[in-house]
Amino acid sequence: MGTTYTLSGQYVDILKKNIYPATLTITNGIIENIVACENAPNHFIMPGFIDSHVHVESSMLIPSSFARLAVMHGTIGTISDPHEIANVCGVEGVHYMINNGKKVPFHFFFGAPSCVPATIFETAGAAINSDQVAELLANDDIYYLSEMMNFPGVLYKDEEVMKKISAAHKLGKPVDGHAPGLMGAQAKQYIQAGISTDHECFTIEEAVDKLSYGMKILIREGSAAKNFEALYELIDDHPSMIMLCSDDKHPDSLLDGHINVLCARAVAKGIDVFNVLRAACINPVVHYKLPTGQAKVGDAANFIVVEDLTAFKVKQTYINGALVAEEGKTLIPVINESVINLFDAAIINEKDIQVNSDQYPSNELGQIPVIEAIDGQLITNCQWEIPTKEAGNIVSNTKEDTLKMVVYNRYFNAPPKMAFIKNFGFTNGAIASTVAHDSHNIIAVGVDDASIVKAINLVIEQKGGISCVNGLEQKVLGLPVAGLMSAQDPYDVANAYTQIDLMAKSLGSKLGAPFMTLSFMALLVIPHLKLSDKGLFDGDQFKLF
């Protein structure tokens, strides 16, 4: 005898743009029947939300913990790129994510990382070649080739890059893209290589250009990169070609909301609710050929009950017929998980991060290149400024909001590299992190060498984490899983992160997410100026200074 139950409400048929009172019959985790009725409760039954591109690692939570929070907001699945842990632990890291994700009722649709390491201009903990990518893609737990960041490799037909793309195509699995700013003939060439999505558009002009060549656009709104306001009109203009994603979401942000929040914002702006839900629930299922279904008869019972179709407050979340969240409370238990890591960094001192003015890049006017961080964006600008010097060394200048930044190799002994950055706004102290895309070396920024060194050494002692120091006050959140994640209860992690984030902002920062912004300052594949463990990097020329 199987398990059967019924559930009634206003059933939302997204593709037919129809809402009607109905009773669903669920048997053994499958929707057996949907029958229209005269009366039903005034709540809405619809497919669950899917985040169409996310790095679970950026939540600082292992997959099983991520799921505990996501289901509260009606998310039943994620298109998950394990690129971050792969840069630290290689293929072993990918399998760690898959295996942990299987321990909870949630759909993690993992991809095979395409660019590990992301570039040759940084030190990662591992490399994944085309043979290993092909082996991963043959795994039934791998649904796609994840973001192909090496767009120059696509344009110039690099042999390894083309082998990875070909391996996905042979298996009928889609290839995700990553080509910020690429437009016109080059965008067309990139897309015609068989790359089907992009989540890096930050202007509607770029998105429309890529759409014209048949590429699907993922509208991203994460903890740092926020492109929703620029792109939301595309949902009505191209309803079959748009998906919603977070890309990177910190634990406190995930505690507050997920894809449901984007749906509410889109509807509030006058976007057709059925088009919004198509982007949030249906298009990812179709594009990635997911087994989750669309809450139709015969599909797996992955659906949610929401109070209304404006705020999308989630009353219940069901996965494979099981109730996993109700009235803002998760029903998924904490999973005790082992730790995987690769960390071998030595304690440093202030002398290690001094910047000799005679050895630092400058132009004929004596100006140095300064990274300009932009709140809500992954791109940076390059400014040229006269440096502030003390005893022959270049130092931070809080009055000009030009602070020292350090990237320090976490994998083996090597001297740290330094640069200068604007818009962090600190007037005291420093922060440091081992979440530093893509290779996840140690990254820090601060107003003085003593604070920077203290912040760096705090995360070294934890073998990974984030830290903040301000004089004698200090906080650290350990992230022992690959230096990226914690296996602790996600509510505890979110609370600890909230506290350290508040402390970072108390240093004077006006950034919405200082740690998330810092984590992207080593992301070389996003222009224009970044810093790796090998030195200052010109993203336009794609070379070190």
Question: What does the pLDDT look like over 168-206, one tens digit per residue?
Answer: 999 999 999 999 999 999 999 999 999 999 999 999 999
Q: How far, in Å, CA of 401 to CA of 450, rounded?
A: 18
Instruction: Tell me the sheet residues that pair with 31.
Output: 26
Contact residues for 34 (Cβ-Cβ < 8 A; gap 6+): 11, 22, 23, 24, 25, 296, 297
pLDDT in tens, 52-77: 999 999 999 999 999 999 999 999 99
Residue among 79, 165, 94, 164 at smallest CA distance from 126: 94
Query: What is the identity of the amino acid at 176?
Result: D
**What's the pTM value of the predicted model, to 2 decimals?**
0.95
The helices-and-strands tally (H runs, E runs) of the chain is: 17, 30
pLDDT in tens, 416-463: 999 999 999 999 999 999 999 999 999 999 999 999 999 999 999 999
Residue 537 has a pLDDT of 97
Q: How far, in Å, CA of 512 to CA of 496, rounded?
A: 17
Instruction: Tell me the sheet residues that pair with 274.
Output: none
Q: What is the pLDDT confidence band of residue 264, given thresholds at 50, 70 and 90?
A: very high
Q: What is the DSSP letter of 351?
A: G
Q: How far, in Å, CA of 70 to CA of 50, rounded?
A: 10
Map out the domains of the chain with their CATH numbers. 48-290 (3.20.20.140), 350-544 (no CATH)
Q: What is the DSSP letter of 57?
A: G
Q: What is the DSSP letter of 261?
A: H
Residue among 6, 9, 7 at smallest CA distance from 39: 9
Q: What is the DSSP letter of 386?
A: P
> For the chain, what percent of residues have pLDDT higher than 90?
96
pLDDT in tens, 353-377: 999 999 999 999 999 999 999 998 8
Residue 223 has a pLDDT of 81
Question: Is residue 1 pLDDT above 50, yes or no?
Answer: no
Mean pLDDT of the chain: 96
Mean pLDDT throughout 207-226?
A: 94
